[in-house]
Structure 1
Amino acid sequence: MTIKDKRLDEELFLKEREEVLKAWPTGKEVDFDEAVAYHKSIPEERIMVNTLMKADQVGKTLIQPRAGVALPEEHIGLLQYLREEGEADLLPTTIDSYTRQNQYREAENGIKESREMGRSMLNGFPAVNHGVKVCRQVNEAVNVPVQVRHGTPDARLLAEITLAGGFTDFEGGGISYNIPYAKSVAIEDTIRYWQYVDRLVGYYQEHGVNINREPFGPLTGTLVPPSISHSVAIIEALLAARQGVKYLSLGYGQNGNLIQDVAAIQSLRELARDYLDKFGYDDVMVTTVFHQWMGGFPQDESKAYAVISWGAAAASLSRATKVIVKTPHEAMGIPTKEANAAGLKTTKQIVNMLQDQGLEQTHNMDEEKEMIIRETEQILNRVLELGDGDLVQGTVRAFSAGVMDIPFAPSKHNAGQVLPARDNQGAVRYLNFGNLPFSHDVKEYHREKLSERGQVEDREVDFQMVIDDIYAIGKGMLVGRPR
């Protein structure tokens, strides 16, 4: 079946829901009308849309960690600790890897092993296995909104369980939770799965329940040029809006150059607003998310705090609505709750200090924003051309042609020809354009920026720069200079 950028037919959607809910026994716990009534009883301070919109109106940057463990009582204790000790404004429920791959039986075994071992044997919270009632216990145990964060190509049942369970924010998208996460899943399949997720959120919206949706901004997380992540975010925003979603948080992963990072958040908001309005979705609200550095971290905790602090400063100065916080244990594996709280408090301190400060528009800032906007528009315009105006078909064909191409992604449906590298000031540029539909002057701009670095370092502009840049922050620098 050829999928199109059309709202799912309600009758077919409801019929599909019946099949989705049969995929695991806890699906029987979902009663949509009862879930709507439950959502309408949730206190205002635990509804994500309310908190995000209030913060956005006053230019406040909220802080949110990543966190999730296998057992409900331990997960609740972790969230309470991060709220009270870490001073988190918003909380997550990060889902385990088995659930992300719809391997619910393996997740069930992980729950059993966790109880036997007395510690979490899963790298997240298996919400589908725990079911609606337990999800509600998680949400009711804290006094701030909780978001579902995961990485699931097919998140239909996860969305059903967690939304009925009282979560008011659901992360992901058909591109951002496929190409950076999966090897063999077709883009047509995940877009269709996420049309269902977005239609479910839209269906709740039609019944008076506000649920926020957040495409995953950083993608592969390391040196992703802003125009690539922006293009994905805007496509996923438009696809979600088509299905009735009214509240969107669009994200971007920190690259490290302050001017470029601030310009990226500002341009993302402007571009999203322009495209949503152009497509007739002027009633859709947009907030922004800044992800602290997603690449390699220094092993030394003191140096790791510097990376976290730099991300906090960039998030605040960009006026992002919220910042996703890293921990000083990033180089070591899953952090302790104490390390997680420490990263939060570090970020909170800097965000509070910078709340009343801004970064003046400069020539460099304006130039950076203009270039990001031009590149993003050139990609999106070509996507729409390939689809003859249909965004879904345009996206599928764009990935096939390499017009959409995410650096370092594992998916075999991704061309993998684009290579980024830093310029002499640490901003991320294109070393190899692949088949991205950029004009000659845009390509020359990037070549000139990288050539400047090559001259300063007295070396060729080549793949070695990419390798050096990937490891640079972990070694204490931003730009991967030769020794």
Structure 2
Amino acid sequence: MIGAERITGASFGDFVAEAERRGRLVVQPRMGFGDLARMRSGLERTRAADAVAVGTLTLDSYTRIGDHEAARRALRDGIELNGYPIVARPDEETVALLDGVRDECFPVQVRHGSSRPQDIFRALGRLGLDATEGGPVSYCLPYSRTPLREAVDCWAESMEVFAASGSDGVRPHMESFGGCMLGQLCPPGLLVAISLLEGIFFRQHGIDSVSLSYAQQTDPRQDEEAVLALRRLAGEYLPDTQWHVVFYAYMGVYPRTSWGARRLLEQAARTAVRAGAARVIVKTEAEAHRIPTIEENVRALEVGARASEGVGPRVYDAGDGGVLAEARALVEAVLDIDRDVGRALPRAFELGRLDLPFCLHPDNRGEARGYIDDEGRLRWLTTGNMPIAPSLGTARPARLTANALLTMLHHVEQRYDRAA
């Protein structure tokens, strides 16, 4: 059995580090339910999966936007929530939920999506939960209308609360969501740069155990190059930090066939192992149709774990296709503004030194555009004021039409479904 080997760690980061040391890929669902019994079952089934797995408490939409009274009303009125309301529920209920499930053999991470997350972090501190994710850019620009400067201040306060919650043998662990952003059509150099910058932000606010994310895009070789670049830069910029890379199964329009969805997840697991990512966030075969069941989540964990077995490391390096050079140029352009990342990030977006393609947040310039070339790789059509040049790849359009954008959005879905 894949998950039979006993792996332990005093905290979330230590558990993943031990699995990585043993050459085992950690797999994780996105699971979150408002109902206590269902959430407990989801955690228990994840723990029992034939995989090296960690658990997830994904929070509900009301909690994400800080409307805790609405979450309380929903609980009181028996209205189903789309995640776990960690602030609205009494602490003793969450303690009971985790009792006997979460331990050194099965860490649990809280996932949320909030640009103003202080209440969530205070709850984590009270509950002794040591792992969560997000970031001042990645949970602001894609998900909210919160001004970026305000989000940075909220996240700085949250990191100080979280760092102070550590105890002997337990290190609070933060995962940057910066390598995911809008999920698709962003060339990987920018994803790598934002993920690293958020990791530096966490370190500057007292967190010394981090994971840096990257989301599967349109071409496996380019994705491998991106993860290798992220690892190279993490080693340079976070030398006194415990870190690993977490790889997300594709976050865009998902294949509609079960076979296509499974092949895409298997590719994500293989890419992660080849490039040296330590953990994978899975997607299920139901992704294109509805919220997945607990059983479908567990099946996805086991598919990802099996696909990772026997995969060898990549034999070429991080500089093959220019992702490393692009990411380094973007990181240095931000740090040239101010070595304090919290001060530098809002100014970098004002100046256009960072610019997310297709992002409509008012603090994003929106001058950059990406496209998919004939080989399936993401390239830059325009780069605005970023310190990198547009790409010279094949099939470079003169301009990006609405039809072309729709075709690109469905590129991965159609490729894997056609193969099915």
TM score, norm. by length of structure 2: 0.91
The secondary structure found in structure 1 opposite 2:347 is helix
- The answer as to 2:146 corresponding to 1:200 is no
Q: C-alpha distance in 1, partners of 2:303/2:416?
A: 20
Residues 197-249 of structure 1, C-alpha deviations (whole Å, 9 max, x = no match): 21123223476531111011311101222221122112211111111111010
Residues 366-403 of structure 1, C-alpha deviations (whole Å, 9 max, x = no match): 422xx11211122122222334x443232111111222
Q: Which residue of 2 aligns with 1:471?
A: 410
Deviates more, 1:398-407 or 1:247-256: 398-407
Q: Superposed, which structure 2 residues align to 1:421-432 within 5 Å?
A: 421-432=371-382
Does structure 2 conserve the Cα–Cα contact (< 8 Å) formed by 1:418 and 1:434?
yes
Q: Which residue of 1 aligns with 2:92?
A: 133
Q: Superposed, which structure 2 residues align to 1:14-53 within 5 Å?
A: 45=9, 47-53=11-17
Does structure 2 conserve the Cα–Cα contact (< 8 Å) formed by 1:205 and 1:246?
no
* Aligned amino acid, residue 156 of structure 2: Q
Structure 2's unaligned 5+ residue stretches are 1-6
Residues 241-273 of structure 1, C-alpha deviations (whole Å, 9 max, x = no match): 111111010000001312111111111011122
Does structure 1 conserve the Cα–Cα contact (< 8 Å) formed by 2:63 and 2:85?
yes
Q: Which residue of 2 aligns with 1:170?
A: 132
* Aligned amino acid, residue 363 of structure 2: H
- The answer as to 2:149 corresponding to 1:188 is yes
The secondary structure found in structure 1 opposite 2:158 is helix
Q: C-alpha distance in 1, partners of 2:120/2:54?
A: 20
* Aligned amino acid, residue 314 of structure 2: L
* Aligned amino acid, residue 230 of structure 1: V
Structure 1's unaligned 5+ residue stretches are 1-42, 277-281
Q: Superposed, which structure 2 residues align to 1:27-426 within 5 Å?
A: 45=9, 47-85=11-49, 87=51, 89-114=53-78, 121-142=80-101, 143=103, 144-182=106-144, 184-205=145-166, 209-216=170-177, 217-276=179-238, 282-354=239-311, 357-361=312-316, 366-368=319-321, 371-387=322-338, 389-426=339-376
Residues 131-168 of structure 1, C-alpha deviations (whole Å, 9 max, x = no match): 33222223324250000111001111111112321322
Q: C-alpha distance in 2, partners of 1:337/1:191?
A: 35
1:57 to partner: Cα distance: 2.5
* Aligned amino acid, residue 417 of structure 1: E
Q: C-alpha distance in 2, partners of 1:188/1:209?
A: 31
1:106 to partner: Cα distance: 0.9
* Aligned amino acid, residue 203 of structure 2: A
Q: C-alpha distance in 2, partners of 1:138/1:319?
A: 33
Deviates more, 1:198-207 or 1:389-398: 198-207
Does structure 2 conserve the Cα–Cα contact (< 8 Å) formed by 1:419 and 1:466?
no
Shift of the 400–460 alpha-carbon distance from structure 1 to 2, 3 Å rule, reads closer
1:63 to partner: Cα distance: 0.4
The secondary structure found in structure 2 opposite 1:105 is helix
Q: C-alpha distance in 1, partners of 2:150/2:198?
A: 14
* Aligned amino acid, residue 229 of structure 2: S
The secondary structure found in structure 1 opposite 2:113 is coil
Does structure 2 conserve the Cα–Cα contact (< 8 Å) formed by 1:472 and 1:478?
no
Give the structure with higher Rg (CA): 1
Shift of the 340–197 alpha-carbon distance from structure 1 to 2, 3 Å rule, reads same
Shift of the 321–338 alpha-carbon distance from structure 1 to 2, 3 Å rule, reads same
Does structure 1 conserve the Cα–Cα contact (< 8 Å) formed by 2:68 and 2:87?
yes
1:45 to partner: Cα distance: 4.4
Aligned-residue CA RMSD (Å): 2.2
Does structure 2 conserve the Cα–Cα contact (< 8 Å) formed by 1:95 and 1:149?
yes
TM score, norm. by length of structure 1: 0.79
Does structure 2 conserve the Cα–Cα contact (< 8 Å) formed by 1:386 and 1:394?
yes
Shift of the 317–478 alpha-carbon distance from structure 1 to 2, 3 Å rule, reads farther
Deviates more, 1:133-142 or 1:67-76: 133-142
Size of the alignment, in residue pairs?
A: 407
